[in-house]
Amino acid sequence: MDTRLSSLLTRDANLTRAEYRILSWLMEHPLRVGHITVRELAEATYVSTATIMRLAQKLGFSGFSEFIWHCKQLLSETPQWATRTNNVPELPALFNQFVANYQQTFQWVTEEKRHTFTQLLREKESFFLYGAGFSYLFAEYLTKKLQVLGKTAFISGPGDSRNIFLSNAARYQVFVAVSRSGETEQVLDKARIAQNIGMTVVAFTRASANSLAGMADLHFALYDEAVHYAAEAAGVTSFESNLVLLMDLLLLEATG
């Protein structure tokens, strides 16, 4: 990463995450500075052009042109590149185990499955997501990600009436279920309905054999070191971090 633009990070302490993302992108792509339009920069950083204009003004510039001119002036200095030090911090004992678990999960995420997910994301516009318990949190996370991508995405869980799903299911093309065990009855009930009305069923579950996996058109199996799914809430495992990493990588590959 080119650090010649790092002084911009200190000009205002109240930068938003989106504004930091814009500056980080410019630091990582110094050769594009001066050759990229405000619209192209907005597309590259997943923000609006208005966000870029607000950033420029927040940093003390009259607009995008002056902001970019200043960046070019900073980049005319001798390049300084951030380098890694040899002082590597000591990692927790479980770090390597978690990495091994990630690698095991991604052995099951085949190229064919990734391609199928990419096609769904590019061809379908409406997604109904469902999760129960802790799984609801991850279904909600994926819902928000899909909405950011401009998709119509609705999240539901056991707290919602069954009629909510029955009333809305026909409006959606893809049913995405997140269930660690793959045996939660409320999830299976919705998956059966989705199947019967012709929705594409996508499931994220643990890798062991389960009912939801057998119903899904596209199943993503995740490594889970827990001995039995009934004890899933009691301990911390790599399952949840596996799940978030898998979701993000699938989305990144599908939108890249």
Asked if residue 9 lies in contact with residue 23, where contact means CB atoms within 8 angstroms, the answer is yes
Kind and range of the H or E run holding 57 = helix 49-58
Instruction: State the pLDDT at residue 176.
Output: 97
Q: How far is CA 112 from CA 83, 119, 151, 199, 252, in A?
A: 37, 11, 23, 20, 16
Could you list the residue range(s) of the whole structural domain that residue 173 is in? 95-255
- Cα separation, 63 vs 253, in Å, equals 33
Can you spell out the DSSP letters for 202-246?
Answer: EEEEESS--HHHHH-SEEEEE----S-GGGTTTS--SHHHHHHHH
* Averaged pLDDT for residues 6-15: 75
Evaluate if residue 230 carries a pLDDT over 60.
Answer: no
Instruction: State the pLDDT at residue 87.
Output: 61
- We report the CATH number of the domain holding residue 15 as 1.10.10.10
Same domain membership, residue 21 and residue 111: no
Same domain membership, residue 103 and residue 33: no
Same domain membership, residue 12 and residue 100: no
Instruction: Work out how many domains the chain is built from and give that number.
Output: 2
Residues 6+ apart with CB under 8 A from 75: 2, 4, 5, 30, 33
Out of 75, 103, 134, a domain closes at 75
Same domain membership, residue 20 and residue 112: no
* Averaged pLDDT for residues 12-19: 81
- Cα separation, 45 vs 36, in Å, equals 12
Confidence class for position 231, pLDDT limits 50, 70, 90:
very low
Instruction: State the pLDDT at residue 234.
Output: 53
Same domain membership, residue 219 and residue 102: yes
